[in-house]
């Protein structure tokens, strides 16, 4: 996993609750056997006016210029501002793959769905959970200022610009994995002996599960 580094970016406001993983990456694009290339079809039903029902991945699409991601100023945005229960629905890891492949590195919301959260952190996508009131303030700022820029510093757990500084909470282990770009499987395999010991006792107790 790539190490997470501090950066500054314009914030893209996606003003909707319950954005589900079917919306983030529709099912017709889940047929790939790779981890890359999903960015083109991020929010496909909303980003394009024509439908790619077969999931062919063709490039000659009719852009929906009303959709927020297609506004010129947000093209290089790395921060998505969202609302409660972002990432609900299916367990498809293609959702964080698509967000990352598109260029987002951080999503800020008042809450995220459980499976989406775990999938995101395992791929280096930082989810920042903030109080509903702060989310409201940030949405207001994106509307009024039309170009809200924020810096993200994971080490100090801060989101900031010249006007505001917001502290955020993050699980210690997740933070360490993101900053050091750790391979979680490698870490668990260092405990192989403990797992083997566990299995010996376990299968003695529940022999029908062998």
Partner 1 sequence: MKTLYDKLWESHLVSEDENGTSLIYIDRHLLHEVTSPQAFEGLSINNRNPWRTNSVLATADHNTPTKNWSHGIKDPISKIQVDTLDKNIRKFKINNYFPFGSKNQGIVHVIGPETGATLPGMTVVCGDSHTSTHGAFGCLAFGIGTSEVEHVLATQCLVQKKSKSMQINVVGHLNKGVFAKDLVLYIIGVIGTAGGTGYAIEYSGDAIQDLSMEGRMTVCNMTIEAGARAGLIAVDDKTIEYVKNKKFSPSNEQLNSAIEYWKTLKTDENATFDKVISIIGNDIKPQVTWGTSPEMVSSIDGIVPTLDSISSEDRKNSFSKALNYMDLKPGAKITDIPVDVVFIGSCTNSRIEDLRLAAEIFKKEKVSKNITSAIVVPGSGPVKEQAEKEGLHEIFIEAGCEWREPGCSMCLGMNDDKLKSGQRSASTSNRNFEGRQGAGGRTHLVSPAMAAATAVAGHFYDYRKDFNL
Binding site for partner 1 (CB under 8 A): 15-18, 20, 22-23, 26-28, 30-35, 45, 51, 53-55, 83-85, 88-93, 96, 111, 113-115, 118-119, 122-123, 171-173, 176, 184-185, 187-189, 191-192, 194-195, 198-199, 202, 206-210
Question: At closest approach, how far in Å is the CB of 141 from partner 1?
Answer: 16
Question: At closest approach, how far in Å is the CB of 45 from partner 1?
Answer: 5
Cβ count within 10 A of residue 112: 20
Nearer to partner 1, 31 or 72 (CB): 31
- Closest by CA position to 143, among listed 2, 5, 11: 11
Q: What are phi and psi of 115, to 5 degrees?
A: -70, -40
CA 11 to each of CA 31, 93, 104, 143, 197: distance values in angstroms, whole numbers, following the listed order: 31, 23, 10, 11, 49
Question: Residue 129: beta bridge partners?
Answer: 109
- Closest by CA position to 171, among listed 116, 119, 110, 128: 128
Question: At closest approach, how far in Å is the CB of 151 from partner 1?
Answer: 27
Q: Which tokens sit at 142?
A: 């994106």
Nearer to partner 1, 35 or 62 (CB): 35
Longest dimension (CA), the chain: 65
Length of the chain: 210
Nearer to partner 1, 129 or 161 (CB): 129
Nearer to partner 1, 9 or 107 (CB): 107
Question: At closest approach, how far in Å is the CB of 128 from partner 1?
Answer: 16
CA 178 to each of CA 84, 111, 125: distance values in angstroms, whole numbers, following the listed order: 23, 20, 8
Nearer to partner 1, 122 or 158 (CB): 122
Question: At closest approach, how far in Å is the CB of 145 from partner 1?
Answer: 20
Question: At closest approach, how far in Å is the CB of 125 from partner 1?
Answer: 11
Nearer to partner 1, 2 or 35 (CB): 35
Contact assessment for residue 109 and residue 47, using Cβ atoms and an 8 Å cutoff: no
């Amino acid at each position: 996993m790539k190490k997470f580094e501090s950066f500054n970016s314009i914030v893209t406001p996606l003003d909707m609750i319950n954005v589900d993983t079917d919306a983030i990456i529709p099912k017709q694009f889940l047929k790939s056997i790779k981890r890359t290339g999903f960015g083109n079809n991020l929010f496909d039903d909303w980003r394009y006016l024509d439908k790619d029902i077969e999931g062919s991945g063709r490039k000659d699409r009719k852009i929906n210029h009303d959709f927020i991601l297609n506004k010129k100023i947000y093209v290089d945005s790395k921060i998505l501002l969202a609302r409660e229960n972002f990432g609900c629905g299916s367990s498809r890891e293609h959702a964080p793959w698509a967000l990352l492949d598109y260029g987002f590195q951080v999503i800020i919301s008042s809450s995220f769905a459980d499976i989406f959260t775990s999938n995101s952190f395992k791929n280096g996508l930082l989810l920042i959970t903030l109080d509903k009131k702060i989310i409201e303030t940030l949405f207001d700022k994106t509307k009024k200022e039309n170009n809200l820029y924020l810096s993200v510093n994971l080490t100090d757990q801060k989101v900031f610009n010249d006007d505001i500084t917001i502290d955020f909470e993050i699980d210690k282990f997740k933070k360490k994995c993101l900053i050091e770009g750790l391979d979680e499987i490698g870490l668990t395999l260092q405990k192989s002996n403990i797992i083997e010991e566990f299995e010996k006792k376990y299968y003695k107790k529940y022999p029908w599960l062998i």
